[in-house]
Structure 1
Amino acid sequence: MELIEHSAAAGAIRVEAQDCGTVIVLVGEIDGALRDDASASMGQALVTGSPVVIDTTLATFIDSTGLAFVLQLSRAAAEAGIAVSLRDPHRVLTDVLELIGLGGELPV
């Protein structure tokens, strides 16, 4: 399993190659401090062409920048014909998605 981790003081984005495809693991606080890391992670995930799984189990906070990352990753993958799903999404993500009317946007 390949593991690439991008991190800031309070949060991290890990890109893992697993049997199910590429897994993006969001850890801790996902906010503007991880903007560059999010872009790099998105590129790494999309270049494989494998299905993408977003795992927010370990996320404790997601601001608008983190939400934008999840939605941009989802849309970019869809445009490339790559399936995206959420793995056991944490409430910090599902609550915000529901709030903005996108609760059913990503399959779980």
Structure 2
Amino acid sequence: RPVHWVYDRSVIETTISSSNPEFWPTNLSPFYIIPTGGRSCYNDEALSMLRSLPKSPLIFDKKATRESLLRMFAPDSEYAAALARRLKAYDSSQRTAKREPIE
């Protein structure tokens, strides 16, 4: 995940040219900063979905899934705090400029 959302091939090539890229130790993502080995929002979404399965092992239970997602991304979660920081710092005139990490 350290190169997730890195679309500039030259950034990747320059950064990993003198190293073993299989286990890159630092995050290069221009959109978010998460320590290597930490879970991203995509992983947390999947984890939340998996946690809802024991409540309904035979069929998809929309209510259990919804409740699990709401707990994971609740108003008091780190995701809500990060969103508030992002919205406060957001400048719409910079949408097409080079992206920097949001945190």
> What TM-score bracket applies, with the shorter chain setting the length?
under 0.3
Larger Rg: 2
- Identify the structure with the greater helix proportion: 2
Q: Which has the higher strand share?
A: 1
TM-score normalised according to structure 2 size: 0.26
Larger RCO: 1 or 2 (CA < 8 Å, sep 6+): 2
